[in-house]
Structure 1
């Protein structure tokens, strides 16, 4: 259970937390409840109880359950995109960039499995605001990889986006499958397998300035 509001004051009243600390506490409690019960079954009463606060305190920070859920999604969606962007910026070695993008998803799944389920296995995916956030994750990750592919290969943006979407989709699906399967393959090996699969495809694209050959060349049907 998430800790309540800290040590009590001498008169027995709970210590008041700074607003940012209280918000962090409430989000942690909400995540536990949403993952355990799903959005529809979760109640604000449950979240307040898990956080050790009264409902009025909870409503001071979040006007409703949906707003609380969206705040959690925003937090984790931004984290995933930041991880992929960091992988792209960490090196100029494209093979390592591919591996880094794969690792970003597996690291998130491994260390933040509750958050991953919250984002990608939500029972509220048909809610427009939720769907927009999930799509924003995919767009953000695709954009980060697209820029790298364009700068290195010189292919058009539409082609680079298509390649990037394939890498993102593979990483997301494989990481989700790995988690659901109980992590039967060691994480480092799973990352290496998927990175090798992805790299063997992307490595066939020449660096910018090199001659383009084959069915994928600019202007050629694929």
Structure 2
């Protein structure tokens, strides 16, 4: 024994550490395969403490999904208000934080659960409204933007060697729906 007491982190730092660990776990394994004990171990705390702070694995998963959508929204808010610029911001986000796209995909995959479906649907629709508000895009343009973004998300998740071609294709599609971009 070293005789040193364990370092106590402030609650906000402990919570952030759990969320970071949960993001990685859920990105890799989804809601069904993600394990709270693995999250706790990665965060350096006990499994019961994770449950005490978040209530359940599903509640923690939903918070991680919400954070991923928040990161996307923030990237869009910081971009120039064109579909092309938002698309570029999204691709940069996926490259910088690969777990974001994986968490979004895991949210879709877990949508058979009513609570997850409701939460993901709400964030998805809110993001669509934000895109329309930011860019002035009509509903067809927003749907095209989302379809293009899904190609980018899957390409990034699979680390496809043609990813750069997908980026060029996505840019071409966005230019068709947003000539001003």
Q: Output the TM-score relative to the length of structure 1.
A: 0.68
Output the CA distance in 2 between the equivalents of 1:42 and 1:203: 42
Which of 74, 87, 91 does residue 106 from structure 1 map onto? 91
CA contact (8 A) 2:25 2:39 kept: yes
Task: After the TM superposition, list the runs of 4 or more consecutive aligned residues in structure 1 that deviate by more than 3 angstroms.
Answer: 189-193
Larger Rg belongs to: 1
Output the CA distance in 1 between the equivalents of 2:34 and 2:94: 23
Going from structure 1 to structure 2, the CA distance change for 1:57 and 1:102 (only over 3 Å counts) comes to same
Output the CA distance in 1 between the equivalents of 2:106 and 2:34: 15
Mapped pair 1:149 → 2:152: no
* SS class of match (1:203): coil
* SS class of match (2:126): helix
User: Please, which runs of 5 or more residues in structure 2 have no aligned partner?
Assistant: none
Output the CA distance in 2 between the equivalents of 1:42 and 1:144: 30
Going from structure 1 to structure 2, the CA distance change for 1:100 and 1:66 (only over 3 Å counts) comes to same
Matches for 1:17-96 after TM superposition, within 5 Å? 17-87=9-79, 90=80
Mapped pair 1:121 → 2:106: yes
1:200 corresponds to: 176
CA contact (8 A) 1:31 1:72 kept: yes
Output the CA distance in 2 between the equivalents of 1:136 and 1:12: 47
- The structure carrying a bigger helix percent of its residues is 2
Q: Output the TM-score relative to the length of structure 2.
A: 0.82
Output the CA distance in 2 between the equivalents of 1:45 and 1:181: 27
Which of 167, 176, 184 does residue 153 from structure 2 map onto? 176
Count the aligned residue pairs: 177
CA contact (8 A) 1:102 1:191 kept: no
Q: Which has the higher contact order (CA 8 A, sep 6+)?
A: 2
* CA root-mean-square deviation: 2.5
User: Please, which runs of 5 or more residues in structure 1 have no aligned partner?
Assistant: 1-9, 92-96, 151-159, 205-222
Q: CA deviation at 1:191?
A: 3.5
Q: CA deviation at 1:194?
A: 1.6
Q: CA deviation at 1:181?
A: 4.4
Output the CA distance in 2 between the equivalents of 1:190 and 1:41: 30
Which of 110, 115, 118 does residue 132 from structure 1 map onto? 118
Output the CA distance in 1 between the equivalents of 2:57 and 2:44: 17
